[in-house]
Structure 1
Amino acid sequence: MKEFNILLASSAAGLLSVAAAQAADLPSRKSAPVEYVRVCDAYGAGFYWIPGTDTCLKIGGRVRIDTWYTPAKNAVRLRSAGGPNYAGLAAPAGTSIAPFYSTNGIDQLGWYARGILMMDARTQSAWGTVQTVATLRLAINTGLAQTSPFNSTPAPAAGTTSPAIEAAYIRFAGFTIGQAASNFTFLPPYQYHSMFAPGFPNGIRQIAYTATFGGGFSATIALENRGELSASATANSLGFTPAGLAGATATAVGPQRLPGLVGNLRVDQGWGSAMLSGAVIQNTANFATPAINAVTNGLGPLVTKTGWAIGAGLRINLPMLARGDHIQGWIGYSDGALNYVGYNNLNENSAVTANYLGGYLRGDRSITIFCVTAACAPGVESTKALVVAGMFTHYWTPSLRSNFIGSYIRITPGQITQATDWTNGGLSKATAWDVKTNLVWSPVRNFDIGVELSYARLTQNLTGFGGGLPTAPACTLANPQCATSINTNNWTGRMRIQRTF
């Protein structure tokens, strides 16, 4: 019995040894190593490797809260007889003139809050860096921030939320494709309130190529989406011809046949920057007149007119005054391309003029169409504009800075357009200028608390009312609802709190 127990124990030990040897030959199942997010320092601060990829990603954003006060101003306002706030007054025959808009229905406060999410992904390739950028914005607005107080009804008190895409583009081998900043503009948006200078706050869709040379020199050529140029999207039209015949009307949106062609030459060096830029666009408009509608089913002949703009910008760094100090300026001129020299929609519905001045600066159309003959042979004129703007930035301390800003714009419509009564679509020469200064405190990096004070003036002489060609028959200077000139000014106080991360 003793021998049997010894044999059994020996057999069991042998089996265990064999099993252990076989187990050693089997493949092991080790847990996968944990891949932690790693810093990617190839493209600057804030980038991290996306786990399992060769792409670096930076995620950031910005929260901005603005509030401001602008005293209410009476404004000249075109509106059909019997429309809102017409106070029961009948418009003179053949006109659509309305009285001065009452300040009782105008907001004086503006509020908005914006939240922005920014993403920047970059991957290295044999052709260089492939960059993908997306910037999304949500904003809620009330009062002056929501709508012009000089629309047909007072600015509503309830807030509205507006989503927008500020940037969405891919950059590769010198090409930029998507929605990005226009290649024409130069000045940065240092100001809180609008100024009379070109700006594309939401970018513009484009296909661009940038060639980089040595010494900080570069050149860019781009095709930009003309459909986003609001001043070129449709045409102004005259209700009378110079001979007093039936007037023309323009379709709501002119067809887009060609993109805008934009280019610039730029240098960026230690002393500062300089840029020359130019743009060429095609303005289009369809005539829609009663005589033509019956034959063409609502669309008359398509009229096209080339618009162009040129600009020059310069920045000079001034470290001898204080670290970060600099001065920069811009001058631009356009013929039929208003968006490239002035802020979009210089008219009674813009944040520049209506919310700011309360005047009637109608400069929101790059061209004006009219009938030359009774059969409505097409006539077209372009609107010209000159803009000059400048900024000086001074750091009082490393965390306290000021911007001193000024801009001037001169708008000149065509001769026939100027000679037509403004109640029938006529436009006049106009000048506007503004100055502003702000004080910005940054208690920590990328956190700003700022206040701004701005002042602007508009001067415009309106044609008509007994002295224009042609004129509204029953509208004379004796009629208290008529006005022939505007010389108005206003100021705005504004506060901004902003955090970028």
Structure 2
Amino acid sequence: MKLVKSLLLGSAAGLTVMAGAQAADLPVRKAAPVEYVRICSAYGAGFFFIPGTDTCLRVSGRARFEATYSQGYSRGAGNGDLMGYRGLGRLNLDARTQTAYGTLRAFVRFELASRTGAYLKSGTQERIANAYSATGIDTFGRAQQYVNVDKAFIQFAGLTAGRAASFYDFYAHDFEIIGTSLGSDVSSTNLLAYTATFGNGFSATLSVEDPIFRKNPLFGTATAGNTASQFQVFTANANLTPVVALNAAGVPVGEAFYNVDQRSRMPDFVGVIRYDAAWGSAQISAAVHELTVGNASSLLTFGGAPLLAGSAVAPRIQNEYGWAVQGGLKVNLPFIAAGDALYLQGSYGEGAQIYTGYSQYIGTYTQSASNTQGGNFATFFTDAAVNPLTGRMELSTSFTVVGSLLHYWTPEWRSAIIGSYGEMSFGKTSRALLGGLNFNGLGNPVNSPGANVFSAALRDTSQIVAGASLIWSPVKDLDIGVEGLYQRTDLKSGRVVDNNKTSLAAVGVNAAGQAISSAATGSVVLPTTNFTDTFQVRMRVQRDF
């Protein structure tokens, strides 16, 4: 037995020596070195080097839940929703590389959201192609998916090119849960800009920006409607306005109908002068915005029959240029509490309503809208109306002012108070002729009495939007907050039938100038008003990373 064990052990030892000798003869391949991710400290926290490059990258994002209660007055025609919800996801990619000319930066932000119910389902976002709506029986107009390349720009040696926030904007609702105070806030537009820095905090920017994101419809007597899926669609001759056509002797003989949907010919030009310091910042902005339409689409007699070729002259509507100016001031208030700050901003424009942000609360990229479901009248936001006698555009004027104060009660608790006011006005001819323009058989413009006096015609309005919030941040980058808002729109002259007190429509006026409606028992005096108001309460849970 001992002999057998000795033979086996000896054989195993011999095989081991032989295997080791053969292994020593084989070529040895070294393992590739592991390249670990390295921290990049040149641009702040969160950046790391992309392996194999000298580019630093930061990945960040946001998850948010929102709910809102919004007052409404009507349950008809798809109305009646008081609650709304939204879930939002955001992903940011920030890549930076140091070059001989300074930092080369590329920034991309994607936003995805699911919106439902009153207010959070946004018609503004559908009209600008950022969202699409559900088409089901119960989901129609109540559910919406939001998909947006919110940012995608390159910065290099003072140049900014791509999709970014408009350089015209300043406050841009920084202290609000959902930006609804009056004021410009175009966070996504296409632009090419150059910023020059002069030292001591001074800089100047010239920006060439995409005009589509600043176009609000011109006033027309017929407007583009919604399809069954509630998309704002272009239909040929859908937004028409009449202009009086003359014969060779200069006598009115008919109407020329113009399609006043706007073309894109010239970009918007934005200029900015800015100052930044430890105490805060200040900015002055100016913008020029072209208004342009097409030629006449049809010529009709006042009776409706087509005019013969050459029997009338239809003046061409000349292009006009709207403009806007804005001044903003931000003051840091650390002597009250760390993080406290105050914004003050004012903007004025002609033919450039989106630059003043008068439609921010009610809705943009539409000719008119009501401030709530079943509101007493529609507020008009058109940049211009065509004078039907001269064929010239009459630009609307608008202005807004806003103030917002942020205060930290403790490092974990903060509040914001906002207040804003604005007015929008139209030319006298626009209001007088286009609000209820008809032509009699002799070609004389006449205003129909009665209903037009108390209808939601093209009218001057003013708005107030005010609110306050309370936000708790129990840990870093987590916000749990609630916000309340009040909004009121006033007619600057005249009155309308109060829809909240009657369902009847005005058909005339009595000797006392009161609105009346015919009924089985005769004429009924209708209640009227000159304002409509609403309120909202919303809450938010948000995590940034």
Q: TM-score normalized by structure 2? A: 0.72
Instruction: Structure 2: state its 5+ residue gaps.
Output: 1-19, 128-136, 222-240, 246-251, 301-305, 438-455, 497-505, 510-514, 519-523
Kindly indicate whether the alpha-carbon contact (under 8 Å) linking 1:247 and 1:289 is maintained by their aligned counterparts in 2.
no
SS in 1 for 2:318: strand
More RCO (CA 8 Å, sep 6+) = 1
Render the CA deviation track for 1:197-245: whole Å, top value 9, x for unaligned: 11113x21100001112111111110011112131xx421355669998
1:192 shift after superposition: 2.6
Q: Distance in 1 between matches of 2:432 and 2:361?
A: 20
1:105 aligns with 2:79: yes
Q: Distance in 2 between matches of 1:288 and 1:103?
A: 34
Go from structure 1 to structure 2 and tell me whether the alpha carbon gap of 1:212 and 1:357 turns closer, same or farther (over 3 Å shift): farther
- 2:55 maps to 55
Q: Distance in 1 between matches of 2:267 and 2:527?
A: 39
- 1:146 maps to 121
Q: Distance in 1 between matches of 2:373 and 2:405?
A: 22
Q: Which runs of structure 2 are paired with 1:372-391 in the superposition (5 Å)?
A: 372=389, 378-391=391-404
- Aligned partner of 1:185: which letter? D
- 2:36 maps to 36
Q: 2:336 aligns with which of 316, 321, 333?
A: 321
**C-alpha RMSD of matched pairs (Å):** 3.7
- 2:5 maps to none
Q: 1:489 aligns with which of 513, 526, 533?
A: 533
Q: Distance in 2 between matches of 1:444 and 1:382?
A: 50
Instruction: Structure 1: state its 5+ residue gaps.
Output: 1-15, 75-100, 466-472
- 2:264 maps to 256
Q: Which runs of structure 2 are paired with 1:68-467 in the superposition (5 Å)?
A: 68-73=68-73, 102=76, 105-144=79-118, 145-147=120-122, 156=140, 158-189=142-173, 190-193=175-178, 194-201=180-187, 203-231=188-216, 234-237=217-220, 249-251=257-259, 253-291=261-299, 301=316, 303-342=318-357, 344=359, 354-355=371-372, 358-372=375-389, 378-420=391-433, 422=435, 426-460=457-491
- 2:443 maps to none
Kindly indicate whether the alpha-carbon contact (under 8 Å) linking 1:248 and 1:370 is maintained by their aligned counterparts in 2.
no
Go from structure 1 to structure 2 and tell me whether the alpha carbon gap of 1:268 and 1:59 turns closer, same or farther (over 3 Å shift): same
Corresponding residue pairs, total: 439
Q: Distance in 1 between matches of 2:76 and 2:254?
A: 33
Kindly indicate whether the alpha-carbon contact (under 8 Å) linking 2:480 and 2:542 is maintained by their aligned counterparts in 1.
yes
- 1:92 maps to none
1:462 shift after superposition: 6.8
Kindly indicate whether the alpha-carbon contact (under 8 Å) linking 2:172 and 2:184 is maintained by their aligned counterparts in 1.
no
Kindly indicate whether the alpha-carbon contact (under 8 Å) linking 1:72 and 1:103 is maintained by their aligned counterparts in 2.
no
Go from structure 1 to structure 2 and tell me whether the alpha carbon gap of 1:246 and 1:389 turns closer, same or farther (over 3 Å shift): farther
Q: Distance in 2 between matches of 1:344 and 1:460?
A: 15
Q: TM-score normalized by structure 1? A: 0.78
Render the CA deviation track for 1:134-158: whole Å, top value 9, x for unaligned: 1111111111121569x9x998365
- Aligned partner of 2:533: which letter? N
Q: Distance in 1 between matches of 2:484 and 2:262?
A: 39
Q: Distance in 1 between matches of 2:532 and 2:77?
A: 14
Go from structure 1 to structure 2 and tell me whether the alpha carbon gap of 1:485 and 1:370 turns closer, same or farther (over 3 Å shift): farther
- 1:97 maps to none
Identical positions, percent: 32
Render the CA deviation track for 1:149-208: whole Å, top value 9, x for unaligned: 9x9x9983652212011111111110000111111111042223411111113x211000
- 2:232 maps to none
- 1:3 maps to none
Q: Distance in 2 between matches of 1:252 and 1:241?
A: 12
Q: Distance in 1 between matches of 2:54 and 2:255?
A: 63
Q: Distance in 1 between matches of 2:485 and 2:184?
A: 18
Query: Which runs of at least 4 in structure 1 moved beyond 4 Å after TM superposition?
Result: 101-104, 238-250, 292-296, 343-353, 423-426, 461-465, 473-476, 480-485
